[in-house]
Structure 1
Amino acid sequence: MRSLLAVLLLFSGALACAAPPYETRAEHDPDGIGKFYLGREIAHVMGPGGVPWLERPEREVEERPQLTIDALEIKPGQTIADLGAGSGYYSFRIAPLVGERGSVFAIDVEPRMLRIISERAKRDGIKNVTTVLGTPSDPNLEPNSVDLLFMVDVYHELEFPFEVMTKVREALKPGGRVALIEYRAEDPAVMIKPVHKMTERQIVRELTAAGFRHQKTVRTLPLQHLVLFQK
């Protein structure tokens, strides 16, 4: 009886995490790819041409990235994954916080972005930042290997959000966390294209569908949500 109950519980859990269907629409926002997930259109990915935007000096004032880093509560020795690392803007700021015993995985689907990170790490003698080439559906992380995975203005561009977050859940250690940082769609004063913003409600809806539990939302950032989840 216990074995049967265990099977039924596993089966019901699998159903709860079954991938909601994607939808394709002919009429859509030109800044989106025409593919929708739980009612939200997925945005086009920013390529290497966006590096000047990522590294713009005004970002320090506009977004106050140190507030994001402080809210992540990173500790020495942890393994942190920066998914959609781009030029490494956050990866290199976090590297000193995890120290020599810790690691930062800078993950991107664009090899040219990873070359930028590798070259900087070599030039600056930073040994705890490792680049990882992901795919649109898999960040390529080992199971149970990561304490915290975060994405800064990246999740809304994932072509396969359910598949990626399923892999992320597997990669987290027990009690591991995920942080999504996204421009606030509820705020018309946030002057970002609509498909590149998300509401807190939509973030929670999508991560819950992938098997995460909403832990808290940090509301100290000037333009973005910072929403934390646990495995």
Structure 2
Amino acid sequence: MKILRYTILVLGCILPLIACQAQNGSQKDDSPYKFKNPSWDGTGKIYMGREISHIMGFAGKDWLERDSREAEEGVSLAVKNLPLTSESVVADIGAGSGYYTFRVAERIPDGKIYAVEVQDEALNYLDRRRKELGFEQVIPTKGSSTSPNLPDGAIDVAFMVDVYHELEFPQEMLQSIHQSLKPDGKLILIEYRGEDPTIAIKPLHKMTARQAEKELKANGFKLVENGKFLKIQHFLVFQKVSD
């Protein structure tokens, strides 16, 4: 009888632990992310068949601000084609040094632009530059790996320039952006064209239009424009789809 009571006691302790472990295993199976041995410059984290790249740190600021960038990418043309009015509320997600932020700010003198960054060094730089340039409409904003921390239903246009492929949690980030957009809000991705092997950018830092559309469609966005006017990048305009 003592042995039987001991066995029952042990099983009573072990079975809840097994159930808990099984539940945790199920949660992992339900995750949208898979893992593998990392590729060169990759994290080994897979979302919808795409390996997420490493993030370029703020140490790369000089590359963002390089003199040749306009000639190489046609930044002015990209900014011109953003669907903005003078009063638009905009979010530059992954603003970096503000290369796009401050150019967009010139187009929205009566609006505002949230310059979203996760790196404190970048946020401090953005704050100094907006004061130097006199852009009161620029609002440096601390984001996280899962959210840009923007107000709900407030954004007309959000955009990411060579950023989306680096998002650690793309599903969570897209859902948060979706929530921050107005009912007719748009999300624009500018990404180096993954379909073109001649573009001298690391493979994981490029995206195909098909892959981008697949990922955004799964998170409540519809592709409404595939601009082909940039030299080496996609200009993909996505419309928020109502919940």
Q: TM-score, normalised by structure 2?
A: 0.85
Q: Secondary structure at the match of 1:191?
A: coil
Q: What corresponds to 2:52 in structure 1?
A: 42
- Residue by residue over 1:164-209, the C-alpha shift from the partner in whole angstroms, topping out at 9 and shown as x without a partner, is 0000000000100000000001111110000000000000000001
Match of 1:95 among 105, 111, 116: 105
Alignment match, 1:178? 187
1:32 aligns with 2:42: yes
Amino acid at match of 1:217: N
Match of 1:229 in 2: 238
Choose from 148, 151, 164 the match for 2:157: 148
Identity rate of aligned residues, in percent?
Answer: 45
Q: Structure 2 residue aligned with 1:76, among 66, 70, 86?
A: 86
Aligned equivalent of 1:168: 177
Query: Contact between 1:71 and 1:218, CA under 8 Å: does it hold in 2?
Result: no
Q: Which has the higher contact order (CA 8 A, sep 6+)?
A: 1
CA offsets, 1:15-52, max 9 Å, x none? Answer: xxxx87200102x3120111010010001111111100
Runs of 4+ aligned structure 1 residues displaced above 6 Å come to none
User: Cα offset for 1:73?
Assistant: 2.4
Match of 2:198 in 1: 189
Residue of structure 2 equivalent to 1:136? 145
Distance 2:164 2:196 in 1: 18
Aligned to 1:23: 34
* TM-score, normalised by the number of residues in structure 1: 0.89
* Cα distance in 1, alignment partners of residues 229 and 134 from structure 2: 33
Mapped partners of 2:83, 2:147: distance in 1: 26
Task: Say if 2:73 is the partner of 1:58.
Answer: no
The two structures, once aligned, show a CA RMSD in angstroms of: 1.0
Structure 2 gaps, min length 5: 1-29
> Where in structure 1 are there 5+ consecutive unaligned residues?
1-18
Aligned with residue 121 of structure 1, among 98, 108, 130: 130
The answer (yes or no) to whether the contact 1:20–1:38 under 8 Å persists in 2 is: no
Which has more radius of gyration? 2
1:162 counterpart SS class? helix
